[in-house]
Copies of this chain bind each other. A is one copy, B any other.
Amino acid sequence: MTTDFNSFFQFAITVDNVIFGFDGQDLKVLLMKRGEIPYMDDWALPGHFVKQEEDLTSAAGRILEELTGLKSVYLEQVKTFGKASRHPMGRVMTVAYYSLININDFEIKPAFIAKKATWFKVSDVLKTPLAFDHKDILIACIDRLKVKVKTQPIGFELLPNKFTLTELKQLYESVLQHQLDKRNFRKKILSMKILIDLQESQEGVAHRPAKLYSFDSERYNRLIEDGLHFDISYPAMQA
């Protein structure tokens, strides 16, 4: 009975992290070039083994911080992948997380530059193979992000503190893969009253400068309690 019991304790757990960023134009994902077998030289999601005394959530945070230096960013567990054959070196399950970071706050830590951590356009990565089952993991995280971004104000995590409405719209379009109508989008967002008008404008652009806004999370929380329905849906489409 005891030996039987011990035989179950032979799994390894990894966390793989789909780190999303937004460059003002496209949704991006951070990949690393593998320096070891298996899948040597293939692109892979950043990830690592969970340590014996480490909470799962802490492991996810650790991976992100080791790589980017960022703490307390948006991090959400998505799904656990556990096919017996998924890892050639043994029985390894992986728990997929995704995180949303402001691409400007970020610099790749020196220790990881050798591993060629790089941003890729999500749409490009979907066309190329990745190590292990990382393509499946990426797809699961994209799908979750699409659902989540429509009903929770997490899109702001991908933007700088100060942003324009056009940037916000572009962000939603690149995540949802749908065009949004400019006037309807502005009307909807502004009517929620969850943005602070910073009374500032862009500078040095060769066109009428856009107003800058920031997200008012305290106000958002108050409004949610009063029954606000945050919902960005893409029936507001355009040809």
Contact = CB atoms under 8 A, between A and B. Distances in A.
Interface in A48-69: 49-57, 59
A121 B7 CA distance: 36
Given A56-B93, A93-B56, A11 B82 contact: no
A191 interface: no
Contacts of A50: 8, 11, 82
A13 B52 contact: no
18 contacts: A8-B12, A8-B13, A8-B51, A10-B10, A11-B11, A11-B13, A13-B13, A13-B82, A53-B84, A55-B82, A55-B84, A56-B80, A56-B81, A56-B82, A57-B82, A77-B80, A80-B80, A93-B93
The 5 closest A-B pairs by CB, nearest first: A56-B82, A8-B12, A8-B49, A11-B11, A80-B80
Nearest to A49: B8
A82 B15 CA distance: 11
A56 B87 CA distance: 13
A54 B10 CA distance: 13
A56 B83 contact: yes
A91 interface: yes
Interface in A1-16: 5, 7-13
Contacts of A84: 52-55
